[in-house]
Structure 1
Amino acid sequence: MQDNLLKIVDKIKEAQVKSGRQEDTITLIAVTKGVAPEKIKEAVSIGINNFGENRVQEVIPKIEILPDKLTWHFIGHLQSNKVKEVLPRFSLIHSLDRLSLAKEIQIRSEKSSRITEALVQVNVAEEKSKFGLSVNEVEGFIEMVVEKFPNIKITGLMTIAPYVEDPQEVRTIFRELKNLSCKIKVPGVELKELSMGMSSDYEVAVEEGATMVRIGTALFG
């Protein structure tokens, strides 16, 4: 795993240099779907402390036996009835995509006197099989969340690009999300995080402005 990590880090650095982003910090989120706790502990031992999961029931037993210092990101589609289990365990929700979910997050956050950070999921490619708002819905959605749900802090955007053999084919998807983050102007909201790029396309995502990449297979095998 150490060799895999070194290769990923080198490729991220190369992508940063290529795009003139040497000074930017890129957060590598290790995706642990289907990964045993022993493998996660190995990842921790080589310096990884950001982990991503998309299944609540799968991750709870893992979190309970892993070090407390880890930062967990919820990266999958979040059902409203799972919010109560997600909020105490995850630092950032990457998949805020509807007002009904925002309402439940607000209720649970208010009860526990916390501010919940979230990214808005955008279905840039408009794939029917994927969740997320369309590009032209995002600004209005953020305005409504800010107005109605004070315990939610939106800190950026997330997208999942279509799987393709050549990652260059999805460059425009990442570029469009970056452009969208720059265009949206909602008072009090800074869209500083762009969660985009996975094992097959993270280099292109970094070149186009990703601040967070979600990597599973390339790291764990």
Structure 2
Amino acid sequence: MSLAEQFAAVREQVRLACECAGRDPQQVSILPVSKTFGHEVVRQAMALGERRFAENRVQEMKEKALALNDSSIEWVIIGYLQTNKVKEVVRYASQLQSLDRLELAQALDKRLLQAGRQLDVLVQVKSSSEESKTGMAPEQVPSFLKTVRDYDTLNVQGFMTVAENTDDQERVRRCFERVRQLRDQCQDELGDALPVLSMGMSADFALAIQEGSTQLRIGSALFGQRPAVR
């Protein structure tokens, strides 16, 4: 299929999944994950109406941002972020979805103050016991939110999670359910609106929609098989 056909197919699948879950498709956005695909592919996706793209690696985001500096793309970082990469995130990204520790929040705050800007962020929550998964333990999140609310540079919009890598759909569903319940708890306890739940990828977005996801991070279903990582 062409890129246009793949995007149309995914949009239709998302619409149907929302319909099955009794949800308004307008409540669920698709965030294309363009990691490992070149800037020319991103430009093709822009022609299909996309303006936000997610990257795992800061260096790859920077390269594409420079190659596409004639466009109005909003770049989103979804991968683990080292503090020594904060400067580039502040310069090029409109959102960070992998805020997972106080050290990182402090480093971002310092750079953002210097730049005179704010950054939209999501707190990454570890919703499974897999050692390969990163994120903050759910029980640590409420106190973390209380601390970072003092940082005017960070606009905390909600949570992101990566579900367990398993064929057991109920275990995947519980990951999403756990984060949604945590979001509801934090909203009740803190009185802060946390409207964004970034949950679900190419293989599990239907389950994520059922459990309240508002944003799907989709890569291979949109772009096809990924090139070899550079």
**Per the shorter chain, which TM-score range?**
over 0.9
Percent identity reads 35
Structure 1 equivalent of residue 138 of structure 2? 135
**Is 1:168–1:204's contact at 8 Å kept on the other side of the alignment?**
no
Cα distance in 2 between the residues matched to 1:124 and 1:203: 17
Structure 1 equivalent of residue 35 of structure 2? 33
Cα distance in 2 between the residues matched to 1:126 and 1:134: 10
Quote how far apart the aligned CAs of 1:3 are. Answer: 1.3
Equivalent residue letter for 2:215 = M
Structure 1 equivalent of residue 156 of structure 2? 154
Q: Which range moved further: 134-143 or 58-67?
A: 58-67
Aligned residues: 220
Structure 1 equivalent of residue 96 of structure 2? 93
**Is 2:32–2:52's contact at 8 Å kept on the other side of the alignment?**
yes
**Is 1:51–1:73's contact at 8 Å kept on the other side of the alignment?**
yes
Quote how far apart the aligned CAs of 1:59 are. Answer: 2.0
CA shift in 2, pair 1:24/1:179, >3 Å? farther
Quote how far apart the aligned CAs of 1:187 are. Answer: 4.2
Given candidates 3, 13, 33, the residue that maps to 1:11 is 13
Gaps of 5+ in 2: 225-230
Q: TM-score, normalised by structure 2?
A: 0.90
Cα distance in 2 between the residues matched to 1:3 and 1:165: 27
SS in 2 for 1:91: strand
Equivalent residue letter for 1:145 = V
**Is 1:157–1:195's contact at 8 Å kept on the other side of the alignment?**
yes
Structure 2 equivalent of residue 208 of structure 1? 211
Equivalent residue letter for 1:106 = D
CA shift in 2, pair 1:52/1:179, >3 Å? same
Quote how far apart the aligned CAs of 1:68 are. Answer: 2.8
Equivalent residue letter for 1:76 = G
Structure 2 equivalent of residue 110 of structure 1? 113
Cα distance in 1 between the residues matched to 2:153 and 2:162: 26
Quote how far apart the aligned CAs of 1:168 are. Answer: 4.8
Q: TM-score, normalised by structure 1?
A: 0.94
Gaps of 5+ in 1: none
Equivalent residue letter for 2:47 = S
User: C-alpha root-mean-square deviation of aligned residues, in Å?
Assistant: 1.5
Quote how far apart the aligned CAs of 1:188 are. Answer: 6.1
1:102-148 residue CA offsets vs partner (Å, 9 max, x unmatched) = 0001101111111211000000113211111111111111111113x
Cα distance in 1 between the residues matched to 2:171 and 2:127: 14
SS in 2 for 1:88: helix
SS in 1 for 2:116: coil
Given candidates 71, 74, 78, the residue that maps to 2:74 is 71
Quote how far apart the aligned CAs of 1:85 are. Answer: 0.5
**Is 1:126–1:134's contact at 8 Å kept on the other side of the alignment?**
no
1:156-193 residue CA offsets vs partner (Å, 9 max, x unmatched) = 00000122235454011111111111111354631100
SS in 2 for 1:119: strand
**Is 2:14–2:25's contact at 8 Å kept on the other side of the alignment?**
no
Cα distance in 2 between the residues matched to 1:139 and 1:4: 39
1:83-102 residue CA offsets vs partner (Å, 9 max, x unmatched) = 10011211110000000000
